[in-house]
């Protein structure tokens, strides 16, 4: 079976939905959006507080690394959205763009001219309809509703006060003139509805005759003729093979794992990897699959006493009460993204925040362990600009086989040192007055683990608790030279008619959550395609 469209977009995640919507609305061409998962019909996706249920459903899967020496031999699992909307349909809905200097570094340090903060800020503003702020940093007319937390938790308010007492300046806006501070997050949820990329950007255009959305279609490789991408080979949910041809362009928006995988399966990648698996080398590109990076966190956890967090809120009479509040009035806990507060702090004295903290009235257990069965809070430090780099390579030429994923999550000594500083400050925050009448014993790292300089036990505890913050990036990095995977308009070097537009093109991770930057990248890609 063969179909033909002007534009074929591979991956219906945070980026793909933005691109499909704009091309359908603003071009004279036909557009096909292919997503390996299903439509976003799962109710847990749309209720903000139930994102953890969506993550545990068939709408997400997990990429697991090889045993990671930097974590003491433990593998590093990274969940990924597998549904229309991708990560934006299953994430914690924190809206954070990163620092202005991140984008200026893309331009100044990595040579990505035209990607400085002055270039990307107008895109963020154009996409956003911010219900809190109306100023030079925010927009009020875009399709993406951005709001404050609708049900801020009193325990989170106490943690913010404790952070300020510990010396962290307060902030009203992590996306304003300065990122540093402690305060309430902005979130991509409003009125009890998650604002995923599929909901905010794609849904208003689903009626267009020139837009076709094909879910349950796993793209296995790109067809390339005379160094031009001409179509994709996909497999439907029932196992049938299908070819979808592209008259103008193919855009890979399959994420930091699947975009490089499809490139390699198509003969675009490191020559030694392709030769090993008998794949014909169409274009030798050593950078495909390299430069993997992720924010890594390690949550300081304390029991609660005299105050309740969120333990048991999804069970019994409490669950019935929250469900009724949501169903009848669109109020209460279920309207919350749960991760409602945090801080961005300069712990190294270098002049810009290097640790992000999530504050929450609940705390997960260690990686791979069941949830804690008591009320707890977390002050969760995370690396903001990790130095560690991993790599992805093919396990075989079979599209169904998993990648070989070498995470090296804490492979650079500076990342471990950053988390040490983060844990020390988290403990200092927990020691402040606003928390003293509600806080109990330390669960992790534990009272027997010293945070003093030179403590090997702290390092071991960090490695044991280290976990992804769900921000894999960098595996198809853009750059100004042919050695980069894509050029500054996100066109794959060496191949015509093919672009990559998702988190994988970041030359370096931004200092914060990646959902908003990914949608910005997609918007820039759509503009470049429309102007081509």
Where are the alpha helices (H) located in 91-210, listed in sequence order? 100-108, 117-127, 154-165, 197
Contact partners, residue 328, CB within 8 Å, separation at least 6 = none
Cα 343 from Cα 395, distance rounded (Å): 40
Considering the chain, what is the average pLDDT of its residues?
96
Q: Does domain 1-61+76-143+191-293+472-532 have CATH number 3.40.50.300?
A: no
E strand map for 188-265: 189-190, 193-194, 211-215, 218-225, 228-235, 241-252
Cα 471 from Cα 374, distance rounded (Å): 28
Cα 276 from Cα 283, distance rounded (Å): 15
pLDDT at 451: 87
Is the model's pLDDT at 80 over the cut of 90? Answer: yes
What tokens appear for 318 in the block? 């409490």
pLDDT at 268: 98
Mean pLDDT over 58-82 rounds to: 97
Task: Compute the C-alpha angle 148/150/151, nearest 5°.
Answer: 125
Contact partners, residue 81, CB within 8 Å, separation at least 6 = 13, 37, 59, 60, 87, 88, 89, 90, 91
- Report pLDDT digits (tens) over 280-289: 999 999 999 9
Is the model's pLDDT at 262 over the cut of 80? Answer: yes
Mean pLDDT over 329-344 rounds to: 96
pLDDT at 366: 79
Is the model's pLDDT at 170 over the cut of 70? Answer: yes
Is residue 471 part of the annotated active site? The answer reads yes
pLDDT at 45: 98
Cα 200 from Cα 28, distance rounded (Å): 22
- Contact between 17 and 84 under an 8 Å Cβ cutoff? The reply is yes
pLDDT at 306: 83
Residue 452 binned pLDDT confidence (cut-offs 50, 70, 90): confident
Per-domain boundaries in the chain: 1-61+76-143+191-293+472-532, 150-184+296-383+411-465
- Contact between 235 and 220 under an 8 Å Cβ cutoff? The reply is yes
Is the model's pLDDT at 369 over the cut of 90? Answer: no
C-alpha to C-alpha distances, 528 to 21, 251, 490, 492, 532, nearest whole angstrom: 14, 12, 9, 13, 6
Is the model's pLDDT at 1 over the cut of 80? Answer: no
278: exposed, middle or buried (C-beta count within 10 Å: 0-12, 13-18, 19+)?
exposed
Residue 467's nearest CA partner among 76, 81, 92, 55 is 76
What three-state secondary structure class fits 243? strand
pLDDT at 370: 74
Adjacent-strand bridge partners of 300: 379
Q: What is the CATH number of domain 150-184+296-383+411-465?
A: 3.30.410.40
Per annotation, catalytic residue among 138, 205, 380, 471: 471
Q: Is the dihedral of CA 139, 140, 146, 148 positive or negative?
A: positive
**Residue 402: CB atoms within 10 Å:** 13
pLDDT at 365: 82
Residue 175 carries which DSSP code? T
Residue 456 binned pLDDT confidence (cut-offs 50, 70, 90): confident
Residue 402 carries which DSSP code? P
Is the model's pLDDT at 455 over the cut of 90? Answer: no
What three-state secondary structure class fits 319? helix
Instruction: Using the CB atoms, write b or e for 161-179: b if 16+ within 10 Å.
Output: bbbbbbebeebebbbeeeb
Q: With the CA atoms of 476, 478, 479 and 483 taken in that order, what torsion angle do they form, in degrees rounded to the nearest 10?
A: 30
């Amino acid at each position: 079976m063969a179909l033909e469209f002007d534009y074929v977009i591979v991956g219906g995640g945070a980026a793909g939905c933005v691109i499909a919507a704009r091309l359908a609305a603003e071009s004279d061409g036909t557009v096909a959006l292919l997503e390996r998962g299903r439509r976003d019909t799962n109710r847990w996706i749309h209720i903000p507080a139930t994102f953890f249920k969506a993550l545990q459903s068939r709408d997400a899967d997990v990429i697991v690394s090889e045993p990671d020496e930097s974590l003491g031999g433990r593998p590093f699992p990274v969940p990924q959205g597998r549904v229309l909307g991708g990560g934006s349909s299953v994430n914690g809905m924190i809206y954070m763009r990163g620092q202005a200097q991140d984008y200026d570094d893309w331009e100044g340090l990595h040579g990505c001219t035209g990607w400085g903060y002055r270039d990307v800020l107008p895109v963020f503003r154009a996409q956003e309809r911010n219900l809190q702020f109306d100023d030079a940093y925010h927009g009020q007319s875009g399709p993406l509703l951005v709001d404050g937390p609708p049900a801020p938790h009193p325990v989170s308010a106490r943690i913010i006060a404790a952070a300020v007492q510990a010396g962290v300046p307060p902030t009203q806006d992590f996306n304003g003139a300065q990122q540093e501070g402690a305060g309430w997050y902005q979130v991509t949820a409003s009125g009890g509805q998650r604002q995923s990329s599929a909901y905010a950007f794609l849904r208003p255009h689903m009626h267009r005759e020139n837009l076709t959305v094909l879910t349950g279609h796993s793209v296995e490789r790109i067809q390339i003729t005379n160094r031009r991408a001409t179509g994709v080979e996909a497999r439907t949910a029932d196992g049938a093979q299908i070819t979808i041809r592209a008259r103008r362009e193919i855009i890979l928006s399959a994420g930091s794992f699947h975009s490089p995988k499809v490139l390699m399966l198509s003969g675009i990648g490191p020559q030694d990897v392709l030769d090993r698996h008998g794949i014909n080398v169409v274009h030798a590109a050593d950078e495909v699959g390299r430069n993997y990076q992720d924010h890594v966190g390690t949550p300081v956890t304390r029991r609660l006493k005299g105050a309740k967090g969120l333990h048991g809120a999804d069970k019994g009479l409490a669950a019935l009460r929250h469900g009724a509040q949501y169903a009848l009035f669109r109020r209460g806990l279920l309207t919350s993204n749960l991760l409602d507060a945090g801080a961005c702090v300069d712990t190294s004295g270098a002049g810009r925040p290097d640790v992000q903290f999530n504050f929450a009235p609940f705390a997960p257990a260690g990686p791979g362990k069941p949830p804690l069965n008591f009320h707890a809070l977390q002050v969760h430090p995370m690396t903001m600009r990790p130095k560690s780099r991993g790599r992805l390579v093919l396990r075989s030429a079979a599209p169904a086989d998993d990648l070989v994923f070498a995470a090296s999550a804490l492979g650079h000594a500076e990342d471990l040192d950053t988390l040490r500083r983060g844990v020390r400050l988290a403990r200092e925050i927990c020691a402040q007055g606003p928390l003293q009448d509600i806080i109990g014993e330390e669960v992790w790292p534990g009272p027997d683990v010293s945070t003093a300089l030179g403590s090997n036990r702290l390092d071991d505890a960090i490695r044991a608790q280290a976990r992804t913050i769900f921000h894999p990036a960098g595996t198809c990095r853009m750059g100004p030279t042919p050695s980069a995977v894509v050029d500054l308009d996100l066109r794959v070097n060496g191949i015509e008619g093919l672009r990559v537009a998702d988190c994988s093109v970041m030359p370096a991770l931004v200092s914060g959550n990646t959902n908003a930057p990914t949608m910005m990248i997609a918007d820039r890609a759509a503009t470049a395609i429309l102007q081509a």
